[in-house]
Structures are given as structure tokens and as C-alpha cells.
Amino acid sequence: MDVAIIGIGMHPFGRTPARSGLQQGAYAARLALKDAGIEWRDIEFAFGGSASAGNADALGNELGLTGIPFINVANGCATGGSSLMTACSAIRSGAHDIGLVAGFDKHDRGAFNADPGDWGLGQWYGELGLMITTQFFAMKIQRYMHDYGISENTLARVAEKAFINGSLNPNAWRRTPVAVEDIAGAIMVNNPLTKYMFCSPSEGGVALVLCRADKAKHYCAKPVYLKSAVLKSRRYGSFEVFAPSQALQQAEGPTVDASRAAFEMAGVGPRDIDVIQLQDTESGAEVMHMAENGFCEHGEQEQLIQSGATRIGGSMPINTDGGCLANGEPIGASGLRQVYENVLQLRGEAGARQVPGNPQLGYTHVYGAPGISAVTILQR
Amino acid sequence: MSNRLPIAEGLFTWPAKKPALLGSRCDRCGIASFPAAQSCMACGSQEVTVEELPSRGTLWTWTVQQFMPKSPYNSGETPETFRPYGVGYLELPGGVRVEGRLTESDPRKLRVGMAMDVVFDTWRTEPNGDEIVSFFFQPVA
């Protein structure tokens, strides 16, 4: 049983002081239901999550208490991907025909401050100032630049593109282009990454209505089909965040594993993909994730990014909505934002940022602590 | 009277004539990890042996932490007195790559592959005068 996405809704990302995270989730859910042309009472089940804005099943208080099974999902940056994968299984199994996936969040300003105890680590790790995600990303790209000859200018180019794409997206947080010199010359946060090369924790909500593929046309003129939704966790030896030590022999990370499984499940390859959303919590992540997801060889990113291949009009458009860099990261909603964007692109409804050439296949990827990755492949 | 105390029990030998980081090595698959754990992260075996890790290695990667972290960071610094610090993974021969703070915070003086020693020094002084000791990686002179 294939699964289709028949409704999408989004609350703009950024900062919305007047609305709680939950209200932003409800806003997105109402839009998704409207887009599918159905009512909340038509929904048979729901999966949802937020990291900092409460239990997703409190959406029932906003939308109406209908008695459906609503499962709260908490899986870090892969919360949205986990909800989607599980909802997909619920439909494929035949247990349900139509359901809702929702993610929302509302974070405090500044970097996340994770508690070592929650991750099986001693308090000393946090006391010493090592429990910081930005450090990990900086150290990963630092080594990658050393190994594969990626330049600092290329890191700035990634952020430049993100803000250009964000300027074309009415739902984005950062909608003003920033000159590449200003990105490169901004204050350093974690060498080699400057302020503009990092995304910030933010707010927002996304919801999707899913149904059995054979019933999709009943609701929606342009359903988009979920060809694969895969979640993987780290194997021993991959270089991961929140790790007091790493193996001497490196293994492939969860992104590589999730990507390969998703391509296999969908029966397509990286060259078939027309529009790509990759986790870009910082510039270096987008660079590394291009290769980890199979879209190029390690080191080829330098030439691809410098030549404009990853821009909207390029041969492999990446993060067409501005990605995390322009949208910020409301953890519960972030992965679903990528799916929302690809559905728009595949419907041909992405407006000023529409990828040309009638895209058929879209790819999304998230990565998060402590080494998890979720990938989806969508087809129109 | 003030004491010198390790930041955590079991992280390194302390006090000792030649203090060393303490890792654990799996008796079954030979994998080492830091800090010492009760089971092997690679194969799950509970047959592990605690061992002292080498004191000299090479810097595998690094960054400089330019902003003061939120709690649980506990250095005794204030936003006014905070000073950026280097962080890196030190590759220890035959062991693991261990993450730690560097004694050097000038990015111009840090490069992948440079030799560093594991050293032990006061990390912070508690209000009661106790000195909390931790490990650091220091460029070989």
C-alpha cells in the first residue's frame, strides 16, 4: 500500500511572540486539513512532536477532541521524520486510511543547552563546555576541509544561497540576502564557522495529511507520493555529536545509511532527484551532507557550489526554501518543513522559488543528536 | 583548608605521580573508549578492562569556542571574564580519539596533525577554596 500526501500546512518560521508553539502547530494543522479538503473529524490517527513546546497531542484541545489515537513523538531533530515514517507504516499496514503528522516548536534564544544526563554522559562533560552542538559541527567541517580541500569561501557561499532562497520564501525567517563578504567577515562562533553560517533555534509549525495512495485522488488533484521514509541511528565508529571519544576506525554515519536505504526502497538513484532539502544547521553540514547523501563525491562540492549548481536554477537545487539557515530550527517542525517544501515544488506551486523543468522527484534529509538521520523521497 | 579534587571520579588517575586518562578496552573486540564504560559501545560485551590511555597524541580536528556556553557550563567565569577556548579530538595511538579542551585558543596556532600532550591542571576554584582539576591537551613544546 503506497502512501500519499494530500494536504500541507505551515505556520511561518521565525519568532511569533503572540502565539505559543502549540498554537503554531494548530495553525499549520488547520491549513493542512483545508488543503486536503477535509475536517479534523475525518482524521483517523495522528503522530506529532515538539522538543520545547509541549506534547503534540494537546493539539486536540485546539482542534477538537475526537478520540483518535494521537502518539507523541520525541526524537530530537528527527522528530518529524520519525512521525512521518511511523504514520507511513500505519497506513501501509492497513490499520488506517488517513492521518495527520504535525510538528511544532518554540525555543529560547541562543544555542541549545543539552543536559549531559539525558544523553548518558557525566556532568563533567557539560561543565567543561563540551556539550555544545556547534562545536561538533565546526570540528566535523574543520577535518573535512583538511581532508577534501573545501574552502572557507565555499562555506560562505552556502549561507549566501540560503538567504537568497529565504528572500523568495514568504514563510522564511531570514528574508534578506547577505553579501558573501559579510558572511565570511562576520564574528566567528566556532572556527571556521561565522555567525551567518549557523542556523538559530526558532519557532514554527508544519502539518501534513497522509492517506492511502489509492484514495488520494479522491481528496487532492495533485497528490505527492511518499516513495520512502527511512530513519537510521548511528553505528559504532561514525563521527557524532556529544561523544567524549570517537573510534580510530571511522564508519559511515547514519546519513549514509538512511540515504542508501531510502534510494533502495524508492528504486531510484541520486541522479534522478530534481529537488533536494538537506540538513544545514550550518554551512558545513550542507557541504558534507551533499556527499553523504550520494549527490556527489567527497570534495566535488567545492566546484559544484562555486559554479552555482546548488542554486534554484542549477543542476542540483538544494534547500530551495532557505533551509535551516534562513528558517531557523524549531526542532519538532524542521524536518517536516523540508517535506512541505518538496510537496510545493512537486506540485509546481513554489512561486518565486519554483525549480524549473517540472520536478518529479524530491529528497529530504535531517541529521540530529546523538547520531540519527531521517530521509524521505517524494514523487509527484 | 582547600583541597584539589578531580572534576569527576574515574576519568583519570588522580592524585598520581604521572596522572593518565582512564579508558576501557573490550576484552572481546579490543575496542577502547573514553571515559571508561561498563560495556563495549561496539559489541555490547560487559567484559571490559580499565586501562590508562597514552599521554601523547595528534590533533585530529579542532575548533575554538568563541561564545560562553549556557549552563551546565561551570567554569567560574562570568560573561565579562569569559575567554574563548580551544576544543579538539586528540588521536591517541592504539586507543581512541578523546575530546577535550585545549590549552591553546589562538586559531593561528592550531592545525590538524599537531602533536599534543594530555596535561592536568586546575579547572576552577570553588567558593570554599577547593580546586577542581581536569584534563587538557597542550601543544608539545
Phi, then psi, of B108 in degrees rounded to 5: -70, -15
What is the domain-level CATH number for residue A79? 3.40.47.10
Q: Do B11 and A138 touch (CB under 8 A)?
A: no
In a domain, residue A205? The reply is yes
Interface test with B, best of A52, A109, A128, A288 (most B CBs within 10 A): A128
Asked whether residue A189 is domain-assigned, the answer is no
Tens digit of pLDDT for each residue in A269-305? Answer: 999 999 999 999 999 999 999 999 999 999 999 999 9
Q: Which three cell numbers stand for residue B106?
A: 589562538
pLDDT in the model for residue B1: 58
| Rounded Cα gap, residues A291 and A147, in angstroms | 13
Residue of A143, A190, A192 lying closest to B65 (CB–CB) = A190
- The answer to whether the CB atoms of B99 and A191 lie below 8 A apart is no
Chain B CB contacts of A113 under 8 Å are 69-72
- The mean per-residue pLDDT over the stretch A313-338 comes to 97
Q: Does A190 touch chain B (CB under 8 A)?
A: yes
User: Is the predicted pLDDT of residue B73 greater than 70, yes or no?
Assistant: yes
β-bridge partners, B32? B25
Torsion of CA A107, A113, A116, A118, to 10 degrees: -10
In 10 A of CB A120, how many CB atoms?
Answer: 9
Residue numbers of the domain that contains A287: 3-109+198-379
Average pLDDT over residues B3-13: 95
Q: Would an 8 Å CB–CB cutoff place A94 in contact with chain B?
A: no
As for how many domains chain B has, the answer is 1
Residue A343 has pLDDT above 90, yes or no: yes
Query: Contact B70/B57 with Cβ under 8 angstroms?
Result: no
Positive or negative, the CA dihedral A284, A290, A291, A297 is: negative
Tell me if A124 is assigned to some domain.
Answer: no
A199-A200-A201 Cα angle (round to 5)? 130
In this prediction, does ipTM exceed 0.85?
yes
The overall average pLDDT reported for chain A is 96
Which of A175, A208, A213 minimizes the C-alpha distance to A12? A175
Asked if the structure places residue A190 within a domain, the reply is: no
Helix (H) or strand (E) holding B102, with range, is strand B97-102
Domain that holds residue B74: 4-139
Taking CA–CA distances from B42, the nearest residue in chain A reads A236
**With an 8 Å Cβ cutoff, are B89 and A138 in contact?**
no
Residue A117 binned pLDDT confidence (cut-offs 50, 70, 90): confident
Q: Is the sign of the CA dihedral B25, B28, B31, B36 positive or negative?
A: negative
Which residue of chain A comes nearest to B108, CA vs CA?
A: A191
- Percent of chain A past pLDDT 90, that is, above it, reads 92
Q: Could you tell me if residue A203 is inside a domain? A: yes
Residue A132 lies in a domain: no
Q: Is the pLDDT of residue A240 over 90?
A: no
Contact A302, A151 (CB under 8 A): yes
Say which residues have a Cβ less than 8 Å from residue A137's Cβ, sequence separation at least 6: A190, A193, A198, A241, A281, A282, A284, A285
Number of folded domains that form chain A: 1
Pairwise CB contact (< 8 Å): A127 & B72 = yes
- Let me know if residue A344 belongs to a domain: yes
Distance CA A354, CA A188 (A): 33
Residue B2 scores a pLDDT above 80: no
Q: Give residue-wise pLDDT tens across range A168-209.
A: 999 999 999 999 999 999 999 999 999 999 999 999 999 999
A260 contacts A294 by C-beta, under 8 angstroms: yes
Averaged over A65-82, what is the pLDDT?
93
Is B18's Cβ below 8 Å from some Cβ in A? no
Model confidence band, residue B53 (pLDDT cutoffs 50, 70, 90) = very high
Is residue B115 scored above 90 in pLDDT? yes
Determine the average pLDDT of the residues in A22-42: 98
**Does any domain span residue A160?**
no
Residues of B in contact with A146 (CB under 8 A): 61, 112
B64 contact residues in A (CB cutoff 8 A): 188, 190-191
